[in-house]
Structure 1
Amino acid sequence: MAKGVKKIKVTSGFTYPKMSVLGQRITIKPGEWVQFEVDEWLPGTTAEEKKKELIWMRQSGDRKIIIYQVPSVIGYRFRISKQLCGSYFYYIEASMSGKRDFKNNTGIYVKGWCEPKIVSSKWSTQKGSKSIKNSNKVNYISYGHIVHLNLMTEGLNGNTLIIELWNQQRAKNDKLVFVYTDVQVIDGEVNLRIENTYAWMAFVDNIQNVEEFYIKVKDTASKQYIKDKLGDDLHAIYLNVKNKVATSNTNGVYNQTPTKVYKPDVSNARYEPCKFEVINITENEVKDGKANNTTVTVFENGKGLKHKNAPQENIHRTIFYKFDSTIIDKDGEEILNNILKFLLEHKGSTINLSGYACVIGKENYNKGLSQRRADIVKKFFADGGLDPARIISVGKGEVDPTDDKKGRDNIRYKNEKDYENNRRVDISFTFNAHDAHTIVYEALAPSSDINLTVATSGLINKGCFRGKDKHEKKVIVKSPEYTSPYEINQSSLAFPVHSQLAAANVAPLNYIWPSFNLLSMQSSATIYNVFINSCRWFSNKNNAVVQVKVFPDIKWTVEFKWNHDQPFAYSFGNKLHPYDIQEGRKKVIGAEFDRATSKSFGEMDQSFALSLKAEWNRITQGRSSAPQTLELGHKWDGKIRRTLALFNKMKSMTEKISNSPLSQGRARFTIESPKIAFSAQWYLERAPKTSLDLTHMVVIGVSAKPLVEAKIEIDLWKIFIKFGGDAVCPGAGSIISWILDKLGKEAGMHFLISFSGGAYVDGKVTINTSYPKETTGEVKTTGKIQVVAEFKAWAKGGVGYLGFEGEVKADASTSVTAGIKVGADKNGIYTAPVAEFAGVKATFVAIGTVKLGVFKRTLTYEGESRLVMPDEIKFEKKYMNFDN
């Protein structure tokens, strides 16, 4: 049962339906990719075969030449330039065997369409030479000289044109002098060799000393004149012809194919049969007691590969013949098929075929025999779809000919082995090899060996084109750490790696930045070079394909803590409530003692701690074990000299506030002590998990709650009576007025208002130094001012048998927060101002008891009032630029 591709289809890309026939031919838009995939399979094709690689071939419209072919399991992408758009069709076909199917139309014809235009036009004296018009000095030709007309076009490839030659007339309309028909556009070009310029003279009226000619171009099918990009239909302006006859030659015109210079293709895409497809590196490890298994694809069919160079390599192959034979045997056919496949996948190389014969027989006969041997190889390649223009075949005749001057066969010796080697065709060509940059993969390791596993798929060396120095089907790892390389003739190899940091290192401060050794002033990496060379991608066997850099798995942590045990300042007024005075005495003792020692000794009662910790050998394979650690630190519990002199000044403020005319002994004032903590960690980690490189992760945590905070409390009842509550706290007046309305004049009230403010720092940021946009977290610094009003009211009174007693509690509070927030999101690290106003919100509760004779009833009134609405100012985030 037949197997293979029955039909292909277009799965994506722009096509013109009205200019296409479904399943047969399509017209596409230039500059855009069109994807082709298999539409139907022949019934004998198995599911497994359908998953295998197909050979996709782009052929000439007559299907004689394979312009380009490529193996692929995901279909074929094709796009066309405007120059190659026109009526010319290419044929695209897919094959399991790599051979074309001439019996069935399994492929699709493809052409491009765009607006027809003449892009450029010029006259020259030789094909491909500079324009006559653009030469340094004005060149004139004479009638009878040969001229060349070159047109570069868009949307006209494969079309037939009519070229009209016009003579410019000054006194009257320009005159049509000559018409050239059936001019073919080949590869988007017209290269017309015109030998009959002498015939132009007969059609020029009132001929001048110098005549000027130009052309107009008409499409044969549409009968429309073709314009240039400026909309002009006059081209090749002007050809200057002197009124002189060079020759009366009246030969015709010849349209020549574009001049092609065949050079080896330098391309990102490589399809040598000696290749590998994927390289993976796997780390199976236990990190900080947790399994951390990672497999990273370091290479996948050349994706994202950085090119180092494309050294030119000379390839030589030879096939042999039997005596007096031009028949290619089985071994020769295998060699030629291999070469053909390679050449079809490498555009541009010129192939030289040199035929030879042994000395048996006449020299002239052997000369012809050697040419036939070379020509039969050329036919083999041409029949396989290779462009014959790329092939040069030459018969070299006998090797070390022995015929005498009279042409007689004069064999001096007979060595059949030499004769066999001389019956041959040498095939030689050049191509640009592919030697890309070594791929760098970074990993972490402890002091002792752990294994990394490198595995490759699709590794074959069949058809290697390096002659005696063929690539081997093996994986090799070399390192200065090894006495001999690790190698294996399989696709997977586990090799041991370790870091430079020794387990017994007492103080590894030279690795304070894990990727750098401060003692050697070099990278801290241990180097392991992996060699999996092939013709495709990495041809030079001396260059490593992957370089593994192994860094120490060390993690550093620094911590700083500072606490103060007493308030920095505390005072209270002598006219406060007795309870407040009693509590205040307790608080003031510590504050005043600390204040006194600060003044006398410049010290404060506080604790200070700083520590630096290192952990390494956190990574193991198999059972986890405790890592090596180093701790450097010191802690002072007691006195630190000359600390925060600023807060001594804050202490003196308490006396001024307590004795101010406003408070009149009704205030108490507190400055809270700061509690500051800072921590930072830095270590190497893979980021993201599928990347090849490691990044320095830096985690910063800050907490200062508070950094500084002050609070003042004042009994403002008398101030309220005199000035009104709204003068002190917005909204307070309406609350107090409501209370007085309910209780009447038989009311007593305690009205305490407190103002507090401070600065606070809190947060954590994890910074990825290589990928700053993946940084997360935020550190937020804010300042807050808060106003709190507290009311206590009481009343007793009665009219007749009616009496009332009760209490009212209410408070109104607000806050303003302002500061700078540092954070990170998917767009990177940012800073943003913060400004929030909490509004004024009042809550009150009134409880009263009504007596009437022997009856008693308790009433409760609760309420909540939003006196001023909250607000928040939105600020734009400013992102940090790491590129500058």
Structure 2
Amino acid sequence: MAKGVKKIKVTKGNYYPKMSVPGQRITIVPNQDVTFQVEEWLPDTTAEDKKKPVIWMRQTNDRKIIIYQVPSSTGYKFSIDKQYCGSYQFYIEASFSGKRDTKNNVGLYVKGWCEPKIVTSKWTTQRGSKTSIKNQNKVNYISYGHIVYLNLTTEGLNGNTVIIEFWNQQAAKNDKLVHVYNNVQVIDGEVNLKIENTYSWMAYVDNIQNVEEFYIKVKDPASKKYIKDNLGDDLHAIYLNVKNKVVTTNANVSKNQTPTKVYKPDVSNVRYEPCKFEVIKITENVVKDGKASNSTVTVFDNGNGIKQKNAPQEKIHRTIFFKFDSTVIDKDGEEVLNNILKFLLEHKGSTINLSGYACVIGKQNYNKGLSQRRADVVKKFFGAGGLDLSRIISLGKGEVDPSDDKMGRDNIRYKNEKDYENNRRVDISFTFQGHDAQTIVYEALAPSSDINLTIDVLQHINKGCFRGSDKHEKKIIVKSVEYGKPHEINESSLAFPVNSQLSWANAAPFNYIWPSFNALEMDSSATIYNVFVNSCRWFSNKNNAVIQVKVFPDIKWTVEFKWNHDQPFAYSFGNKLHPYDIKEGQKKVIGAELDRGWSKNHGEMDQSFALSLKAEWNRITQGRSSAPQTLELGHKWDGKIRKTLSLFNKMKSMTERVSNSPLSKGKARFVIESPKIAFSAQWYLERAPKTSVDLTTIVAIGVSAKPLVEAKIEVDLWKIFVKYGGDAICPGAGSIISWILDKLGKEAGMHFLISISGGIYIDGKVTINTSYPKETSGEVKATGKVQVVAEFKAWAKGGVGYLAFEGEVKADVSTSITGGIKVGADKKGIFAAPIAEFAGVKATFVAVGTVKLGVFKRTLTYEGESRLVMPDEIKFEKQYI
């Protein structure tokens, strides 16, 4: 049956169509991801097969070495740096098995293109040295005949050949070409030229000086143009200083060398080892407050959600064994080597050390060669699988505990055959960057007694673990100080018991007043359970827990506070009002002021209040019908009440400030009625949101104030005018009213009354999520309204028949009294901050009057605006409950 990949294609990313050949090769834009996916499958590939991951392999141009491979069911992303752009082509191929198709071109050749450029250039006296001959403006010299190394890093030239021209700088600016090196290869974006013929340069230097300076130019043989650097200059490696001295007359041919590579383990956080798990879920099946609550949270999903990924270096040792005097790799050995090969192809960089051994049977020299051949056959196996042979160091170490005598004769004595078998081996060792991360924290609620949490590990596979004796196992282990011994299972699902620190015998659990914190121990209130599910791909260090389950007590606190006040908070009355108003006002203001003074001096007011605190815990069960434990108590909390009273005393001063407005002077009455306040709050731990691994403190606050502010104002604008003039009502209105009074005299009158009445009432509930403020819901609303009524009347005595008055004065009077309570919670606890604001009284007047006196008739109009009462605001600080 022909199953597998027939053809691949590019599905995403930028490339150059004119530089590409469909189905064969593609030229891509550098430094951008290009995504490859399967375009066509072989005919016997089923729909189910197509959902499986395929192995994507990036190979060298000659398709002999697999540079990197990775399994993926969603395609392969690849990008090329500018340093690797050029004529060099990578070959990308995909298959189910990871075996390459050497007969058919099922893949694509890929290269990158950018403008050719010389990025850096330097001279060194040792290959691969980081120290330039001219280092930090310090001039060093060589002599003719010295060997020097030229290093260039480039862009857009990888795989190309270039021409290197050596020039001698002349004083007259007529620099001279000294030597030309043709067909210099750019390998991995670098030119590394070993120059051994510096002696021959002397013959080309005119009028040789004590010190000569040399530089290079790089020419593209295709375009015949010089290649420039980032500054647009085509002179590079400025300058090589050579003394007029000969150290040798050798003129060996210069050599093009590959870049010096130092193999280091790949530090990539993305891992593809076959020893793995993919998903971890924790399930809680509980009954809370009498209601069944079933929740499953995904705490791990292919690396998503883990924090502070790190890659500790780990050393791996594996061994394969051979038959006597044999270099044939048996079936068991092939399984081990294939496993290691797959791991190494998916992890770039590690240097692999192969150490071959032989037993003492036979001559020592022969066994030395046999051990080397065993190491080489393993190296060949890896090479055939596509591993870069330059990463492998193979060494035959001969016999283990050699037994030949001084004459080289094998004087072996009898030993246990098992020892011989163990010595016929090749040890494979390498270092790699392990995969570890910060332990995932999962928070849960529980009662005092045990309930079970269930952990499920999906796609848990460890057959492919390449480790030896310390290989990862398909096992879940849970450890806690609560257990005598760990709970563990050799399966992918485990139910383990958890409980909270809050005991059934705790009669007054005030140390858990903030449920996540134990105030008595000044520490977290959580019981800790460490879960170990280690694998090569994720959390490779077996000593580190993958998940830490923190279990908190399921306690809920409720506080309720009610306060009724019997006297008005503030009362201001006018001594020019009707006697009845004055009498009633005297009673109220006396009571209000006495109460005010009493509260200032003694912290008490004419009031009644009640406060209660209730705790409930062990609300969560698992199939049990027992009732939760409760604690309920009441307390005066005089200190808190006094602090609250001092805040509300501020509201009394509002009337004093209002009384300074033009409306007062004994003509206005202003009342702020005392509030009837009820306050309640609950706080407890809950998962938020439902898919989260952590808990949050939920604070539910209810507020009721009926009324918070209630105001009554009655103002006779006409009386104010009579006393203070028309402009006290509205600037400019005095001329109108004065003229009317002059004409009407004492036989007529006018009444202009503004009444303001109503109140603001607070009611509502807010639920605050302290960890996720955006989840906060509900509101505390200020409802009610303040009504403003303007009334105008004019009259004349009946005997004045010849006098007639027609007219109206319209007043658009607006005001508002707002109030509320800002509620919230922070690390200090629950707080409330009252708000009270009086917008004042603002009036817009339109006066139209027509007066007839005999045959005389006159009509007057006026428009204006007046601020009758100034606004006022009371600010309160946060008060914690």
> TM-score of the superposition, structure 1-length normalised?
0.82
> What secondary structure is seen at the aligned counterpart in 1 of 2:280?
strand
Q: Which letter does structure 2 place at the counterpart of 1:125? A: T
> How do residues 508-523 of structure 1 correspond to structure 2 at under 5 angstroms?
508-523=509-524
> How do residues 219-298 of structure 1 correspond to structure 2 at under 5 angstroms?
219-298=220-299
Distance, in Å, in 1 between the alignment partners of 2:694 and 2:13 is: 36
Q: 1:586 to 1:840 in 2, by over 3 A?
A: closer
| Equivalence for 1:606 | 607
Distance, in Å, in 2 between the alignment partners of 1:211 and 1:641 is: 94
Q: 1:693 to 1:657 in 2, by over 3 A?
A: closer
- Is 1:546 equivalent to 2:566 in the alignment? no
Distance, in Å, in 2 between the alignment partners of 1:833 and 1:22 is: 75
Is the 2:299–2:440 contact (alpha carbons within 8 Å) kept by the matching residues of 1? yes
Report how far residue 456 of structure 1 moved.
Answer: 0.8
> What secondary structure is seen at the aligned counterpart in 2 of 1:285?
strand
| Equivalence for 2:21 | 21
| Equivalence for 2:196 | 195
| Equivalence for 1:12 | 12
> How do residues 720-759 of structure 1 correspond to structure 2 at under 5 angstroms?
727-728=728-729, 750-754=751-755
Structure 2: where are the runs of 5+ without partners?
825-830, 848-862, 868-881
Is the 1:167–1:211 contact (alpha carbons within 8 Å) kept by the matching residues of 2? yes
1:556-603 Cα deviation digits (max 9, x unpaired)? 23333322234346687798789xx4x997897677667667779976
Distance, in Å, in 2 between the alignment partners of 1:544 and 1:623 is: 32
Report how far residue 868 of structure 1 moved.
Answer: 8.2
> What secondary structure is seen at the aligned counterpart in 1 of 2:318?
strand
Report how far residue 796 of structure 1 moved.
Answer: 11
Distance, in Å, in 1 between the alignment partners of 2:769 and 2:653 is: 43
- Is 1:82 equivalent to 2:82 in the alignment? yes
| Equivalence for 1:66 | 66
Is the 1:566–1:673 contact (alpha carbons within 8 Å) kept by the matching residues of 2? yes
Report how far residue 780 of structure 1 moved.
Answer: 8.4
Q: 1:198 to 1:823 in 2, by over 3 A?
A: farther
Is the 2:573–2:585 contact (alpha carbons within 8 Å) kept by the matching residues of 1? no
| Equivalence for 1:120 | 120
Report how far residue 10 of structure 1 moved.
Answer: 2.3
Q: 1:747 to 1:108 in 2, by over 3 A?
A: farther
Q: 1:449 to 1:600 in 2, by over 3 A?
A: closer
> How do residues 477-496 of structure 1 correspond to structure 2 at under 5 angstroms?
477-496=478-497
Report how far residue 135 of structure 1 moved.
Answer: 7.1
Distance, in Å, in 2 between the alignment partners of 1:598 and 1:122 is: 89
| Equivalence for 2:873 | none
Report how far residue 713 of structure 1 moved.
Answer: 0.9
- Is 1:155 equivalent to 2:156 in the alignment? yes
| Equivalence for 1:881 | none
Distance, in Å, in 1 between the alignment partners of 2:451 and 2:298 is: 20
Is the 1:82–1:155 contact (alpha carbons within 8 Å) kept by the matching residues of 2? yes
Q: 1:653 to 1:259 in 2, by over 3 A?
A: closer
Q: Which letter does structure 2 place at the counterpart of 1:59? A: Q
Report how far residue 100 of structure 1 moved.
Answer: 1.2
Q: 1:234 to 1:777 in 2, by over 3 A?
A: farther
Q: Which letter does structure 1 place at the counterpart of 2:682? A: Q
Distance, in Å, in 1 between the alignment partners of 2:307 and 2:374 is: 43
> What secondary structure is seen at the aligned counterpart in 1 of 2:234?
coil
| Equivalence for 2:356 | 355
Distance, in Å, in 1 between the alignment partners of 2:307 and 2:662 is: 79
1:637-672 Cα deviation digits (max 9, x unpaired)? 9xx999669969969989x979x9988987544332
Is the 1:729–1:787 contact (alpha carbons within 8 Å) kept by the matching residues of 2? no
Is the 1:6–1:106 contact (alpha carbons within 8 Å) kept by the matching residues of 2? yes
Q: 1:209 to 1:403 in 2, by over 3 A?
A: same
Q: 1:621 to 1:245 in 2, by over 3 A?
A: same
Distance, in Å, in 1 between the alignment partners of 2:779 and 2:254 is: 79
Identity %: 76
How many residues in Structure 1 have an aligned counterpart in Structure 2? 835
More divergent stretch after superposition (390-399 vs 771-780): 771-780
Q: 1:198 to 1:547 in 2, by over 3 A?
A: same
> What secondary structure is seen at the aligned counterpart in 2 of 1:284?
strand
Distance, in Å, in 2 between the alignment partners of 1:13 and 1:334 is: 38
Q: 1:650 to 1:765 in 2, by over 3 A?
A: closer
Q: Which letter does structure 1 place at the counterpart of 2:333? A: G
Report how far residue 327 of structure 1 moved.
Answer: 2.2
Q: Which letter does structure 2 place at the counterpart of 1:78? A: F
Distance, in Å, in 1 between the alignment partners of 2:478 and 2:697 is: 27
Distance, in Å, in 1 between the alignment partners of 2:46 and 2:304 is: 30
Q: 1:261 to 1:869 in 2, by over 3 A?
A: farther
Cα RMSD (Å) = 4.7
Q: Which letter does structure 2 place at the counterpart of 1:814? A: S
Q: 1:378 to 1:648 in 2, by over 3 A?
A: closer
Report how far residue 165 of structure 1 moved.
Answer: 0.4
| Equivalence for 2:674 | 673
Is the 1:820–1:834 contact (alpha carbons within 8 Å) kept by the matching residues of 2? no
Q: 1:717 to 1:94 in 2, by over 3 A?
A: same
Distance, in Å, in 2 between the alignment partners of 1:785 and 1:166 is: 95
Q: 1:515 to 1:843 in 2, by over 3 A?
A: farther
Distance, in Å, in 1 between the alignment partners of 2:774 and 2:237 is: 56
More divergent stretch after superposition (368-377 vs 781-790): 781-790
Report how far residue 63 of structure 1 moved.
Answer: 1.1
1:503-528 Cα deviation digits (max 9, x unpaired)? 34221110112111122222110011
> What secondary structure is seen at the aligned counterpart in 1 of 2:225?
coil
Distance, in Å, in 1 between the alignment partners of 2:269 and 2:253 is: 45
Q: 1:205 to 1:599 in 2, by over 3 A?
A: closer
| Equivalence for 2:94 | 94
Distance, in Å, in 2 between the alignment partners of 1:459 and 1:728 is: 86
Report how far residue 128 of structure 1 moved.
Answer: 1.5
Distance, in Å, in 2 between the alignment partners of 1:626 and 1:402 is: 80
Report how far residue 275 of structure 1 moved.
Answer: 1.7
Q: 1:322 to 1:769 in 2, by over 3 A?
A: same
> What secondary structure is seen at the aligned counterpart in 1 of 2:606?
strand
| Equivalence for 1:851 | none
Q: Which letter does structure 2 place at the counterpart of 1:22? A: P
| Equivalence for 2:871 | none
Q: Which letter does structure 2 place at the counterpart of 1:162? A: I
Distance, in Å, in 2 between the alignment partners of 1:814 and 1:627 is: 55
> TM-score of the superposition, structure 2-length normalised?
0.83
